[in-house]
Structure 1
């Protein structure tokens, strides 16, 4: 059945959707290698699940912002194509699970009709741009960062410089010095500041989580706002050129920064300046496509409440108001925060929530980094009615973003990489705290975060108390385990810290571990002491000894061999791949990829997008050179390394009866890296593209002669790799 596309779908999105449909058809016919298809679909937000034959669809919501109608559209599509569940993530996305691969193009088309995209939600791209959910209403903010988040999102969406990076790239914007968007764990973290009357940002670089978490380094204490996007572009161009591409676990920008140092990285970024599409980018307001964020502005500025927040005799309302509601910077207006267990919301609940928003709030819902939702511009007299309506939906639980509100990833419920259950232990911990530590709904100093593995989707490394899924061996048996991490998050000085791994314990002892930690803190912490400061004062060994009895495997019982939310004995396993391995000619596949990039370069040139044409042409050189090196069984890695190796290997002297590609060593490098020596222009783009075209033709001819001489190549086996 043909994809149904409405007039609301942009030409760029239309082509993406039809391309996805065509690639799915080719993949099913066996014409595309599994690994190549995996790489393709990930950049379209289609992610393989643990369960065979179904996908997770990640919906990219810049800054976590969504309208009521968009929420309804996602809920309806979850009913139609998924399970009726909407999962909010720590990157302010919404995910749908158990979607058939064949349904993903039409699902995408129906999202684009409502102004929502999947493009670059996964894969080695610039991922969703996250930001403080309170932006625009935050009493502590120097200015509203919402427009900046949208402009950064728009600037890098479908941008040639970030379509084929070695790894993903993450950007966040925090509205105040509290760094509520966790800039210190991002590739680029921005914190809003005003200096000498000018708006700008503190800029942090090279943060990241995973098996080896790094805190970001400060590149600028203050960078004027119109220079931020060009600076990020320069950083991405450097990361694309010099970043690791073979050793996946070393391919994040944090490792490049660690290898070459901040000064050298900034020098290389500066060297990219001539090639930048824009030297400055003004951010004065939201893109026209976004629409209005607030109620009528005169209504906001002129509103004078006759009374303060309406009271209620219901003690649950009082607790909810204390923990989930705050007054905005706009006098007399209030915001309401929704605590959502596991980040999961049923489609019926989402539609009912949208109706509440339309009746009582601004059409501006924000998904929060702790997997909740924030509603804005609510009149104080409406708060009791809002509470009652939310309470009927199960969305008025107190304790938003407190100790009792745990952040978690889906774990083994759906993820290929997860080792143990995240959802099950989260329920167990929240239940224990509700029963034994009820006052924790008022404590917003201790954050608990859980991931199903070390990769950190639940952000356990920046928690005061964190857990990630693992396993333990006891003789011939394996049991589910939790790695306990302590001391991350923010300390009393507002500094962002990375947690220490302290001890690994059986997963079923997770509630006991948290019980020990909370009771110890209650008994021994100084009055007003932050948990991470308390951890630093006591030291890692103190907590290791505190929890050591829980790690004793001599006291195991039968239930310890069964994971949370399961009844069968635990076994470690990797999720099932989506299909069998295939045999392909890797060089031919790479040359086809280069030809495709040449087509993109020609299209950009025809449309007058000189900078885009130049970067696509640059990638033709890189991909063609990689194919030539592969044809001689030479390993390839960074783009810079590919150019250098090609320059040395294919220099002018005849090789096996064929002429070289260039006369002297250094010629090829000089040609390719001339991309950042001139301003983007029609003349330069036309010349550079013609040179890339001629180069690719030469590589293709070289390969044809090689095959005539040596015969058909030995086909290479490619099998399913893990998504991330």
Structure 2
């Protein structure tokens, strides 16, 4: 345990990890009750699983972005503390399983060496801020939402206003009006827009509030057709303060934002938000997107040689797994990951691949896959060859045959059905009997193993 007293550069992170270590010890000694400890560990990404005595750890990756060094770090941690399997979630996180509670502080400290956190990955907090995996490359986008999603994540991480809310809170950024980030089913959703004001092109967001799924789904309400970007953080903070103050706390199944909006009425809720803005520490919060955009560059690696001819499988794979980018001469490669599970040997090979031949990052997706971006068009055959070597060249990315499923009774305490089992069987049926539908992206199958 000495390591994170001497190696971590961020004292706030160090205190966080040491506090988790201390609270685990107090819990083991019977000096903290189970419910209080549960709240603390969940807010630090430590989640009980179906099997007794072990934990699921949720690794928080804002808008699904992970660099090659971070992917290697996650692999190292999974190898040392878990089983070597990495599970992509529908909130663009990574989960690892069968971790000893006693070892979670060391695990967290290891991750932080490459700026990867567990903080607020679970619990009644602001959960991972998600975004379209196409952000920054989408031919239809007005602008790249990445720096705005990143600013939102950083502002609310450890923010005292959202540490012990009545329930979790989820936000999403889409890249265009196609709403690939599914903003309409989130507590807050944002779609980028550009509006001409006084002869100038001004950036802003369409804002949606109070969406959700579960047993009582609700389509989010449109609350702003255009909110300028410097108003993004103040508006979110005002909404969170109202949710924290007025949200349900006694009945967990009625504690989400959608129920509060329904109970108060949309107009009354929005009036409370407007009043709350007067109490905020600032009226405007500019976000420096220009510096982020200037720092972006396109890779131009030497072209490696192919080992052999690729054949029909390659041509079929290209139909579903290669996506156009707005950057001329470059494409993105969608990698289908059945059930969202892949392994550290694959992750390490991917890290080498994207570091040398792409832009040194992956974006995990809402469909439990990942996207390799900024691939020069002439390198697509090489990427297929390399992905095939590690078993990640399955066709059907984001198609009818690409089914999303939660872990269900495999590891989840809430699971009452084998969602992964039925997903595997359904995928076999679609690929073997209905291959003509593998390009269909209008119909999506998602399977839940419980009533949530």
Tell me if TM exceeds 0.5: yes
Counterpart residue number, 2:329:
332
SS in 1 for 2:378: helix
Whole-angstrom CA distance in 2 between matches of 1:69 and 1:3? 20
CA contact (8 A) 2:171 2:186 kept: yes
Whole-angstrom CA distance in 2 between matches of 1:268 and 1:65: 35
**What TM-score do you get using the length of structure 1 for normalisation?**
0.60
8 Å Cα contact 1:187/1:254 also seen in 2: yes
Question: Could you tell me whether the CA contact under 8 Å between 1:174 and 1:181 is conserved in 2?
Answer: yes
Q: Does the CA-based 8 Å contact 2:336-2:370 persist in structure 1?
A: yes
1:221 Cα deviation from its structure 2 partner: 1.1
The equivalences for 1:486-565 within 5 A come to none
2:70 matched to 1:73?
no
Q: CA deviation at 1:130?
A: 0.1
Task: Give the direction of change, closer, same or farther, for the CA distance of 1:109–1:287 in structure 2 (3 Å limit).
Answer: farther
Once the two structures are superposed, residues 90-146 of structure 1 have per-residue CA deviations (whole angstroms, 9 ceiling, x without a partner) of: 000000111000010000000011100000000000000000001001101000000
What's the CA shift string for 1:298-330, capped at 9, x where partnerless?
x7xxx9x99xxxx96611111111111122101
Which of 268, 271, 284 aligns to 2:272? It is: 268
SS for the counterpart of 2:278 is: helix
- Structure possessing the higher relative contact order (Cα contacts under 8 Å, 6 or more residues apart): 2
- Report the CA distance shift for 1:81/1:287 in structure 2 as closer, same or farther (over 3 A): farther
SS of alignment partner, residue 442 of structure 1: coil
The yes-or-no answer on 1:396 pairing with 2:431 is no
Q: C-alpha offsets along residues 507-545 of structure 1, whole Å, 9 cap, x if unaligned?
A: xxxxxxxxxxxxxxxxxxxxxxxxxxxxxxxxxxxxxxx
CA pair 6-392 structure 1, distance change in 2 beyond 3 A: farther
Shift of residue 294 of structure 1? 3.9
In 2, Cα distance between equivalents of 1:163 and 1:286: 31
Match of 2:441 among 422, 441, 444: 444
8 A contact 2:205–2:228 mirrored in 1: yes
Question: Which residues of structure 1 form unaligned runs of 5+?
Answer: 456-724
- The answer for unaligned runs of 5 or more in structure 2 is none
Cα pair distance change 1:267/1:63, threshold 3 Å: same
- Change beyond 3 A, Cα 1:291–1:158: farther
Match of 1:529 in 2: none
SS in 2 for 1:255: helix
Q: Whole-Å Cα distance in 2 between the matches of residues 312 and 191 of structure 1? A: 43
1:95 aligned counterpart, secondary structure? strand
Q: Which runs of 4+ in 1 moved over 6 A?
A: none
Aligned residue for 2:75, secondary structure, equals: helix
Please state whether the residue corresponding to 1:275 is helix, strand or coil.
Answer: coil
Task: Provide the rounded CA distance (Å) in 2 between the counterparts of 1:92 and 1:83.
Answer: 20
Q: Distance in 1 between matches of 2:320 and 2:50?
A: 36
Q: Is the 8 A contact 1:68 1:358 kept in 2?
A: yes
1:203 to 207, 229, 236: 207
- Count residues with an aligned counterpart: 444
Residue 287 of structure 1: how far off its partner (Å): 8.5
Contact 1:202 1:221 in 2 (8 A): yes
The corresponding residue for 2:406 is: 409
Max Rg structure: 1
Query: 2:282 pairs with 278, 285, 290, which one?
Result: 278
1:422 to 1:59, Cα distance in 2 relative to 1, 3 A: same
- Residue 189 of structure 1: aligned partner: 189
**1:597-636 equivalence runs, <5 A:** none
Q: Distance in 2 between matches of 1:89 and 1:353?
A: 18
User: How many angstroms apart in 2 are the aligned matches of 1:320 and 1:89?
Assistant: 24
Match of 2:374 in 1: 377
Three-state SS of the structure 1 residue aligned to 2:438 is helix
- How far does residue 9 in structure 1 lie from its aligned partner after superposition? 4.0
Question: Are the structure 2 counterparts of residues 434 and 44 from structure 1 closer, same or farther at C-alpha, using a change threshold of 3 Å?
Answer: same
1:417 shift after superposition: 0.4
The answer (yes or no) to whether the contact 2:4–2:14 under 8 Å persists in 1 is no
Task: Give the alignment's Cα RMSD to 1 decimal.
Answer: 2.0
Deviates more, 1:312-321 or 1:249-258: 312-321
- The CA distance in 2 between the partners of 1:172 and 1:223, in whole Å, is 15
Aligned to 1:220: 224
Q: 1:279, CA displacement in angstroms?
A: 1.4
